[in-house]
Amino acid sequence: MKDIIQIIIESSSGFGPVQDAFTDKLILTEDSISYEYNPEIETRFNPKIKWSYKIDKPFFKAQYERIVGMISAVIEKQENEFCTDIGGIEFDIVYSDQTKFNYIYMVPGDRFKELFDEIEQLVPGTECTPAVLLTSRNHNGRYVNDLEAFMEYIHKEEMNNRSKNPERTPGWLRKIKEFVRSIHKEKDDRKL
């Protein structure tokens, strides 16, 4: 039986503003992980990212073997959804006899959630989660945390306005608070 010696996962941003466009690539072997992120337009808020780690630890090798075991399910499901606004997720699998498997899946990252969660465990703690591995779990968590920080800011603004005019909360502030509460309610409903 052929062994998988290298897993390459590439993605792109899909349709959207050019300042948000990117391509990225994650390369995984039994003793290394590397990542490259290339924005279409590099800015200080959206810089190029490139890192590589060689790791000789039993945990890493065991996790790599677990990931290799999950790859067969990816290879078997060569299907696409009707998605026209997302970038593809490309899998390049290199075997010990140098043969390759290559397929571009036009699906959201959630289709590979379990696999991506396993791979994410190998990303060093000093690095951000690679864009190719992001799923709705990553986005929703970050979004809700940002909303909570924003809600705190809104509360301070409201207290500041009430000290000036205790009778009235500005309409714009009320609308924002209602929106944020609806997001939190939606998040809580998903937990149930």
CA atoms within 13 A on the CB side of 129: 17
What's the rounded mean pLDDT across residues 20-26?
92
186/36 Cα distance (integer angstroms): 35
Q: Which one has a higher pLDDT value, 182 or 96? A: 96
Q: State the Cα angle at 130 between 34 and 19, rounded to 5°.
A: 115
| For residue 190, pLDDT beyond 70 | no
Least confident of 53-57, 106-110, 140-144: 140-144
In this prediction, residue 144 has a pLDDT band, given cuts at 50, 70 and 90, of very low
Over the range 137-159, which residues count as b (16 or more CB within 10 Å of their CB) and which as e? ebeeeeeeeebeeebeebeeebe
pTM for the full model? 0.70
Sequence spans of domains, the chain: 4-132, 139-191
What's the rounded mean pLDDT across residues 57-72?
93
What's the rounded mean pLDDT across residues 49-69?
94
Q: Which CATH class is domain 4-132?
A: alpha beta
